[in-house]
Amino acid sequence: MADLLEEDPGVEAELRALVEEVRTQLPAGVVSAADHSVAAGRDVNISAAQGGVAAGVIHGDAAPPGPTRPGPVGS
């Protein structure tokens, strides 16, 4: 492959297009999870805001720190 690309650099775009065409024809990958786990076939985005807790998997107790006091920040 490296020799082909070295001999004909213009073939790279054609090869990339061919690979993409083959990839789109393949069946979707099988993804499974068991026993308190996470599995994904693509990206996983996990987030929390305003003192929340976010995780893909939590084993055991998890909680944010105690409640905040009412009023302006820093009082």
Q: Does residue 70 lie in a domain region?
A: no
Sign of CA pseudo-dihedral 10, 12, 13, 17: positive
What is the pTM (predicted TM-score) of this model? 0.39
Q: Does residue 20 lie in a domain region?
A: yes
pLDDT at 46: 92
Which tops the pLDDT comparison, 1 or 15?
15
Task: Give the model confidence (pLDDT) of 16-40 as tens digits.
Answer: 999 989 888 877 777 878 888 888 8
Cβ atoms of 58 and 46 within 8 Å: the answer is no
Q: Does residue 11 lie in a domain region?
A: yes
Which tops the pLDDT comparison, 69 or 64?
69
Q: Does residue 46 lie in a domain region?
A: no
Per-residue burial over 50-70, b if 16 or more Cβ lie within 10 Å, else e, is eeeeeeeeeeeeeeeeeeeee
Domain of residue 1, residue span: 1-26
In percent, the amount of the chain with pLDDT more than 90 equals 12
Q: Does residue 56 lie in a domain region?
A: no
Considering its fold, how many domains does the chain have in total? 1
The residues near 56 (Cβ < 8 Å, ≥ 6 apart) are 38, 44, 46
